[in-house]
Amino acid sequence: MQKVAQVLLFASRCLAICAVLAGIGVGFLEATIGAAFVCFDSCPSREFLFLNLGPGTVLQPLLPCIVLELLALVAFVAYCLATGQARRVAMPILFLLLGGLVGVAGLYTLLQHAQATLPVDQDGIVIPEAAKAWATWGGLSVLFVAGAWSGVLAYLQWRR
């Protein structure tokens, strides 16, 4: 039983580290490559750029981080139940739910703000420099939210 518990703890920690790296990687990719392709040939209108804006668009880039963190939490819960430390599970689960909701709400608010304030020219086309700057800041905010959220969850699983 001790071997199984140690494997579960190791799996939980490895998955938590992978979740942190996935969150940082997705944010970095959005800030660099995603910003370069906002206005690839020509810039769209503001309405077309934010056509599919919704809570789902915030969650799409965060999906690898969320899935890995949920798997890490499942392994952590199994470890805690196997070792008789059931009270240790409450804080990571609460932070998973509340911190995740706050992070997604913040990113969605940032998207709403960009939709309302992104500058356009007289034809209604988004200005390329502003669109690239917004995409860079949006990617950096995804990097911060995903990295901080999964990093705190990893910390909560590791502390004794």
- Summarised one tens digit per residue, pLDDT across range 104-158 is 899 889 888 988 888 988 888 888 888 888 889 988 999 999 999 999 998 988 8
Specify the pLDDT at position 49: 78
pLDDT at 74: 94
Q: Determine the structural domain holding residue 39 and report its residue range.
A: 2-158
**pLDDT tens profile 73-116:** 999 999 999 888 888 899 999 999 999 999 989 988 988 898 88
Whether the CB-CB separation of 142 and 27 falls below 8 Å is answered with: yes
With cut-offs at 50, 70 and 90, classify the pLDDT of residue 19: very high
> pLDDT-derived band of residue 52, with 50, 70 and 90 as boundaries?
low
pLDDT, residue 160, reads 64
CB hemisphere CA count around 64 (13 angstroms): 15
- Which residue intervals of 30-160 are DSSP H helices? 35-36, 46-49, 55-83, 90-117, 128-158
**Structural domain tally of the chain?**
1
Mean pLDDT over 20-29 rounds to: 92
State residue 67's pLDDT score.
Answer: 94
